[in-house]
Amino acid sequence: MKQLSYLDANFLYIETQHAPMHVGGTFVFKQPTDKKMTFARFKQHIQSRLQTSPVFRRRLVEIPLDLDLPYWLEDPHFDLEEHLFRHHLTNGASSELQVQAEDFFSTPLDREKPLWEIQFVEGLKEVGDFALIIKIHHCAIDGMSGEEILVGLLDFSEDVRAMPDDNWEPEEFPRYRSLVGKKIWKSKNSVKQMFDLVKGTAETVNRSANLRVSEAGDVPPLFFNSPATPFNVAVSGDRRLVHVDLPLRKIKGIKDSQTNVTVNDVALAICSGALENILKSESSLPDTSLIAMIPISTRDKNAKRDKSKESEQDCSTGNDVAAMLVSLETDEKSILGRLEKIHVNSRKGLRYNRTVEAERLLSQLPVMTSAALTKTFTKLKASQLLKPIFNVVITNVPGSPVPLYFDGAKLVSQSFNAPIYDYAGLTVNVTSYVDVFTIGVTTTPEILPDGEEFVRAINASFDALYQKSVGDNVQQEPKKKDVLKKAVVANTDVVEKECETAVS
């Protein structure tokens, strides 16, 4: 068995019936060239790829009274049939697929089984021929590990690659008293753990204070210090999922037109303009800037630190992220001035995060304290008594620069979704695939009654930024034979290790 980390477990503690903590997305495919993709063929392909990630056959073992962190157990009762579902669209429209995805993502996962489900949707008549709607609990993956799991199910050509032997073995359920006994045995180190917590807290506070004093006015925003917005309210159990596709070539054109600006900065600036437009239309734009929480992947750093502790497969699961707060400069009138300020804010947040490393304190918290505080905070909706911790979550997970295939079926469109919860009711998910840059939103119908409003706002913000930065100096279309080569090169800019972000 493998024990969850503190960060992974907190996605379980914060979960409620109306705020399920799963991540996922909708993936649209063209039919394979050999024969039609049927539900039976889909199921057979998934069966052949189960060994690509331990997530597929692991289930939770939770400790009574949250005395210790939960464990992952190789499920002796695993049944693939319980995770795969089938749905046939009535009219085949993309809007109908969107409604189906919203319904699918509104339902929590069953903790008595491995925490994932895939719905096979057929009858699609727009964009593609069939779709897969995937959801996996956030305690099992973050954005980067989720992308790795997706790539495990897909291939880089129509030819299905050979897979290694499946040597998976189930585990027996442990006796709870043995797990409690294990916790009691570990408690002999509780005095040292508490000392480490106090020492770590003091060091973190000291680093933060020193940085804020030495760089007064040049540090990122504080948590629980964001302006009130219609996004920061209690959420319902219904979901609104909307996405917009933009040309990656033009996104890179904006980036290249400015000094030192990254693709991530451009994405934040587009989101900033769109959210400003939406709030303005509702007469709800605050006088001070909106604050975004940007998850930063720390997977490479932590993998090097813990290389001897985990297998390569285990390192591709769970959450290795840190949180960075960035002002979106929604009170800045100049479009290019806003982009430049967002770039500075991102660099500022990264520098502060590296210096303070507050997320390392999580591993030193007593388990019962962490679980009890998180559950109580969530159940009592304590956030409503405070200023918003942040206004919006914006994630950026780069996708493949080359086409991907599901058993010969070409992937033609993808969009990602992430959790929302009370008083953090809007998450924006940014990704790329080949030559498309996708910006999607996860929220509720109460917060965003008209999904097309988000589409219009993103398009208007993108058009304004492109016009101001690139204007009439539009580059000529690349030659057809150069598209693939340039797409591969382009993706290196999207990855941008420094600003690489993931689902929380």
Task: Please answer whether residues 249 and 483 qualify as being in contact, where contact means their C-beta atoms are separated by less than 8 angstroms.
Answer: no
* Residue 396 in tokens: 């950026």
pLDDT in the model for residue 312? 45
pLDDT in the model for residue 147? 82
- For residue 137, the SS3 value is strand
pLDDT tens digits, the chain, 504 residues: what are they?
898 988 899 899 999 999 999 999 999 999 999 999 999 999 999 999 999 999 999 999 988 777 788 999 999 999 999 999 999 999 999 999 999 999 999 999 999 999 999 999 999 999 999 999 999 999 998 767 788 889 899 999 999 999 999 999 999 988 766 666 655 555 545 544 544 544 444 444 454 445 554 555 566 788 888 999 999 999 999 999 999 999 999 999 999 999 999 999 999 999 999 999 999 999 999 999 999 999 887 766 555 445 444 444 454 567 777 888 999 999 999 999 999 999 999 998 888 766 545 444 444 444 544 565 666 656 656 566 678 989 999 999 889 999 999 999 999 999 999 999 999 999 999 999 999 999 999 999 999 999 999 999 999 999 999 999 998 555 444 444 344 434 433 443 443 444 444 333
Task: Please answer whether residues 397 and 504 qualify as being in contact, where contact means their C-beta atoms are separated by less than 8 angstroms.
Answer: no
Distance CA 69, CA 157 (A): 41
Distance CA 332, CA 341 (A): 9
Helix or strand run (H / E) with residue 103: helix 94-105
What superfamily in CATH does domain 222-356+366-401+416-499 come from? Nonribosomal peptide synthetase, condensation domain (3.30.559.30)
pLDDT in the model for residue 304? 47
pLDDT in the model for residue 387? 85
Residue-wise over 277-314: b if at least 16 C-beta within 10 A, else e? bbbeeeeebeeebbbbbbbbbbbeebeeeeeeeeeeee
Distance CA 292, CA 228 (A): 13
pLDDT in the model for residue 194? 47
CATH number of 2-165+172-183: 3.30.559.10
- For residue 271, the SS3 value is helix
Place of tokens 């492109």: 466
Distance CA 252, CA 249 (A): 5
Q: Where are the domains of the chain?
A: 2-165+172-183, 222-356+366-401+416-499
pLDDT in the model for residue 175? 76
Question: Given strand 2-3, what is the order of strands in its sheet?
Answer: 2-3, 71-74, 58-61
Task: Please answer whether residues 422 and 403 qualify as being in contact, where contact means their C-beta atoms are separated by less than 8 angstroms.
Answer: no
Distance CA 335, CA 269 (A): 8
pLDDT in the model for residue 321? 76
pTM of the full structure: 0.84
Task: Give residue 3's Cα distance to chain centre.
Answer: 22
Q: Where are the alpha helices (DSSP H) in 365-450?
A: 367-379
pLDDT in the model for residue 504? 38
Q: Do domains 2-165+172-183 and 222-356+366-401+416-499 have the same CATH topology?
A: yes
Place of tokens 């800045």: 332
Task: Please answer whether residues 276 and 229 qualify as being in contact, where contact means their C-beta atoms are separated by less than 8 angstroms.
Answer: no
